[in-house]
Amino acid sequence: MPDHRTIIIGTGIAGVSAAAALRSSGYDGVVVLIGDEPELPYRRPPVSKEVIRGDKFADDIRIKKAQWYDDQDIDLRTGVAVTTIDTAIRSIRLDNDEPLLWDQLLIATGGRARSPWRATGVRTLRSLADVPRLRAELAGGGHGNTLMIRATVS
């Protein structure tokens, strides 16, 4: 059993690439990849382009197939957020109250859209979870209605 653990917070392209780089460089410690979205990691730019139009689906934009994480012995944890980082004891706490110790920690969480945009009637398209709501609003249309969408990519 390896005696060292690397935790990567963020399941976007940076987080998944870091996990892949660790394994390809021969790192044999525990790799934990944590993301707050319940989805298998995916590329964000296609969400605001091909996915919203219906040209691609969620499985078409995955960074890696589900089996890859198992094959690389990467502990992928989706749908869970990190609530606390304690650098003194090298520990994080997840929103399910689980503590995890680390030897190396990488924070690769990307950016978030600012909330004032929502107050002005501009919809935010940042994740796959936003797509069904926006598609419904776009399909509803109507005369004199304008739907502005601000796509954010991190």
Residue 31, in any domain of the structure: yes
> Please, which residues have CB within 8 angstroms of residue 41's CB and are 6 or more apart in sequence?
11, 12, 13, 15, 16, 33, 35, 62, 63, 64, 76, 78
Are both 70 and 122 inside the same structural domain? Answer: no
Distances (CA, A) of 44 to 29, 39, 110, 122, 136: 29, 12, 11, 19, 20
Domains: count for the chain: 2
Three-state secondary-structure class, residue 69: helix
- Residue 72 and residue 23 in contact, taking contact as beta carbons nearer than 8 Å: yes
Is the per-residue pLDDT at 122 higher than 80? Answer: no
Are both 130 and 59 inside the same structural domain? Answer: no
Give me the pLDDT at residue 129, please: 82
Look up residue 11 and give its amino acid.
T
What is the overall mean pLDDT for the chain?
84
Is the per-residue pLDDT at 45 higher than 90? Answer: no
Residue 130, in any domain of the structure: yes
Are both 57 and 132 inside the same structural domain? Answer: no
Q: Which of 16-25, 51-60, 95-104 has the lowest mean pLDDT?
A: 51-60
Instruction: Give the burial string for 122-153 (b: 16+ CB within 10 Å, else e).
Output: ebbbbebebbeebeeeeeeeeeeeeeeeebbe
Are both 80 and 130 inside the same structural domain? Answer: no
Q: Which DSSP state fits 120?
A: T
Containing domain of residue 56, as a range? 5-107
- CATH number of the CATH domain containing 42: 3.50.50.60
> Please, which residues have CB within 8 angstroms of residue 128's CB and are 6 or more apart in sequence?
37, 39, 42, 47, 51, 58
Give me the pLDDT at residue 142, please: 45
Residue 81, in any domain of the structure: yes
Per-residue pLDDT, averaged over 75-89, amounts to 96
Are both 121 and 91 inside the same structural domain? Answer: no
Higher pLDDT, 46 or 31: 31
Are both 74 and 36 inside the same structural domain? Answer: yes
Q: What is the pTM of this model?
A: 0.79
Are both 48 and 124 inside the same structural domain? Answer: no
